[in-house]
Structure 1
Amino acid sequence: MSKVVTFNRTGGAEVLEIIDVQVPAPAASEVRIRVHAIGLNRAEIMYRNGQYVIAPVFPARLGYEAAGVVDAVGENVNQFSPGDRVSVIPSFMFSEYGMYGEVVNAPVHAVVKHPENLSFEEAAASWMMYVTAYGALVEYGRLQAGQNVVIRAASSSVGLAAIQIARMLGARPIALTRSSDKRELLLNAGAAAVIATAEQDMVAEISRETAGQGAHIVFDPVGGPDVAKLTQVMAPQGMFFQYGALDSRDMLVPVFDILGKHLTLRGYELFEITTDPEKMARAKSFVSAGLRSGKLKPVIDKTFTLDEIADAQRYMETNGQVGKIVVTIK
């Protein structure tokens, strides 16, 4: 028997239930994992609220990221064995699998052996944020040493991952955050500069910090009207990646910025990488190398126990965390 998290109606964190279930043997191309840590993601709250890209089918499971030890493998699984320390990379829908539980089955394509220098908590905190940032900055953006990358909502887990990846490549990460409260933290995390957008002139500061060159890449989970200010300070042939919609208002983009500087603006999501075997393989290799070398180091804001899963999600909803929220299972 395993404790798992489920819910039978959409709503606040109070709809989450912890129940005991019999976890079946892994099917073909599945791996059964005894979970030690779970990484929380904004998508799980959206799914619980009924605001995700798919509607929940009740009783619903949730959870994209976990780390633990292989308990059993199904047919056609040759790359993993019981006892292996593994992590799960988001590359499935909640209607198919959910990682919130003591023992879970996961599709083999989503499972990776993580570097030995990581704790289970660090491993559970790594893959969503690093692969998300890798896809935009490296796979599509081809970020180069010396280039400027502007990172909006920089204190989020993905924002911090983007800072580290930019530093790893020798690029210059410029962190955007609403207030100056997180300035020192972001500088200590590797940001070359921090701009408090509610307190400073974003256009003037980005122009100054890039010595007039502008941003070669903008990595943005917010959107909204302020996108116009960002395109104004982008470099020629710059690329703008919109990977979220924290501000759901329409983006206002001056057409002459796009035409005059030959900008590329595109929507981007993690599943572009994790559902493509070749791109997924490159992402695994890049992130694993960074984690192994220590150049990529997940930042964990706070940990909770499985019994505190509702509190963990409520904490995420306060938007006060810096880095990843992790749930531990002993």
Structure 2
Amino acid sequence: MKAAILKQLGPLEPFHLVDLPTRSPGAGEVSIKVRATSINVVDTKIRAGMGDIAPAGDIVLGCDVAGIIEAVGPGVTRFAIGDEVYGCAGGVKGRDGAYREQMITDARLLAKKPTSCTFEQAAALPLVSITAWEALVDRAQVKPGETVLVHGGTGGVGHIGVQLAKALGAIVHTTVSSDEKAQLAKKLGADVTINYRARQVVQYAAEETNGRGYDVVFDTVGSDNIAASLEALAVNGRCVSIVSLHTSPDLSALHMKNARLDLVLMLIPMLTGEGLERHGFILENVARLVDAGRIQPLLDDRVYSLDELILAHDHLASGAAIGKIAVRVS
């Protein structure tokens, strides 16, 4: 089978298209004929040198996968040969990635893909959907009628966050960088769009909520945005961030508002081997929302092939992509 490998890590390291041997799935595993994958920030970070969570040997990246079950290992009962599935199922330490024609993975990480989606659309969903679900459902526990601020409402995680918060019954505000993206965010369900280049977080939080603040802030940006997001919270508010904290924000705003800050890293089950079935459960629920028209994956206009991975990574790094970048594998 064809696979795109990295021989070592580094921001300028090329992908090499090689032939790798196939293998049969073991207990609890399935073999997937990979039809598509998508590019995530974590893929680019591992390639750039985040070796502590990189796969070993010839490095095959790619967390997200959509494809067709070719074989099932002993003990697998949720899937059969021919099932169309999707998942965030590899590309990190101890797990082969999806930049390949055949992928062996733990069946618990998968769900049947939304029937209304192409393989490219389905491959764009897993990592960002699980991340948004863990942030808004598991941690923030968004309730109907609450006001939720989603930073970066047309980005990979953000565009799912906007739609999921809306599906949960929230009033959704989101930040964007242009009028074009504001229109797109509105189509995704945002009630209010905010150009973050024109106003600071604390300013628009006061103006758009009549001084009350947000019940929930979903931070997909990090850095200095964290401290401002905490200031934007209402009393008893919840802020959830998916970005590593490289500085120590002033947490006094949390104390004075009896508010909370949660951090989410959805890769933990894959890295630890614990709670893998939670990913499959979330993706089953996401598939139902997609097929009901409540969530739609937003794909960048350009779809790449397996031998164009460098271009796909560069496109994500440029910041010019809208939504997710898909890669067609077979």
Query: Quick check: 40-49 or 227-236, which moved more?
Result: 227-236
Aligned residue in 2 for 1:304? 304
Unaligned runs of 5+ in 1: none
- 1:175 partner letter: T
Superimposed CA distance per residue, residues 254-292 of structure 1 (whole angstroms, 9 cap, x where no aligned partner): 51x212210111221113577425644542342122012
Where in structure 2 are the equivalents of 1:1-330 lying within 5 Å? 2-51=1-50, 53-55=52-54, 57-90=56-89, 93-180=92-179, 182-245=181-244, 249-255=246-252, 257-271=253-267, 275-276=274-275, 279-280=278-279, 282-301=281-300, 302-330=302-330
- Is 1:195–1:202's contact at 8 Å kept on the other side of the alignment? no
- Is 1:299–1:323's contact at 8 Å kept on the other side of the alignment? yes
Deviation, structure 1 residue 91: 6.6
Distance of 1:52 and 1:258 partners within structure 2: 34
SS at match of 1:117: coil
Query: Quick check: 280-289 or 155-164, which moved more?
Result: 280-289
Cα distance, 1:92–1:44 mapped onto 2, change above 3 Å: closer
- Is 2:55–2:96's contact at 8 Å kept on the other side of the alignment? no
- Is 1:86–1:114's contact at 8 Å kept on the other side of the alignment? yes
Deviation, structure 1 residue 70: 0.8
Cα distance, 1:281–1:109 mapped onto 2, change above 3 Å: closer
Distance of 1:88 and 1:282 partners within structure 2: 11
Distance of 1:308 and 1:281 partners within structure 2: 29
Deviation, structure 1 residue 181: 5.1
Cα distance, 1:182–1:52 mapped onto 2, change above 3 Å: farther
SS at match of 2:108: helix
Distance of 1:278 and 1:77 partners within structure 2: 13
Runs of 4+ in structure 1 over 6 Å off: none
- Is 1:206–1:233's contact at 8 Å kept on the other side of the alignment? yes
Deviation, structure 1 residue 197: 1.9
Deviation, structure 1 residue 223: 2.1
Distance of 2:128 and 2:54 partners within structure 1: 24
Cα distance, 1:68–1:226 mapped onto 2, change above 3 Å: closer
- 2:67 partner letter: G
- Is 1:226–1:252's contact at 8 Å kept on the other side of the alignment? no
- 1:213 partner letter: R
Alpha-carbon RMSD across the aligned residues, in angstroms, is 2.1
Distance of 1:85 and 1:254 partners within structure 2: 46
- Is 2:56–2:93's contact at 8 Å kept on the other side of the alignment? no
Deviation, structure 1 residue 89: 2.5
- Is 1:87–1:114's contact at 8 Å kept on the other side of the alignment? yes
Distance of 1:22 and 1:90 partners within structure 2: 19
Distance of 2:47 and 2:81 partners within structure 1: 32
Query: Quick check: 96-105 or 46-55, which moved more?
Result: 46-55
Q: Which has the higher contact order (CA 8 A, sep 6+)?
A: 2
Distance of 1:52 and 1:213 partners within structure 2: 43
Q: Percentage identity across aligned positions? A: 27
Distance of 1:278 and 1:310 partners within structure 2: 32
Query: Quick check: 265-274 or 166-175, which moved more?
Result: 265-274
Distance of 2:280 and 2:56 partners within structure 1: 31
Unaligned runs of 5+ in 2: none
Distance of 2:197 and 2:97 partners within structure 1: 38
- Is 2:150–2:219's contact at 8 Å kept on the other side of the alignment? yes
Distance of 2:296 and 2:38 partners within structure 1: 15
- Is 1:60–1:95's contact at 8 Å kept on the other side of the alignment? no
- Is 2:213–2:232's contact at 8 Å kept on the other side of the alignment? yes
Distance of 1:34 and 1:208 partners within structure 2: 51
Superimposed CA distance per residue, residues 137-169 of structure 1 (whole angstroms, 9 cap, x where no aligned partner): 011211011111111122211100000001111
Distance of 2:153 and 2:51 partners within structure 1: 23
Distance of 1:120 and 1:98 partners within structure 2: 17
Distance of 2:101 and 2:175 partners within structure 1: 37
Distance of 2:89 and 2:237 partners within structure 1: 28
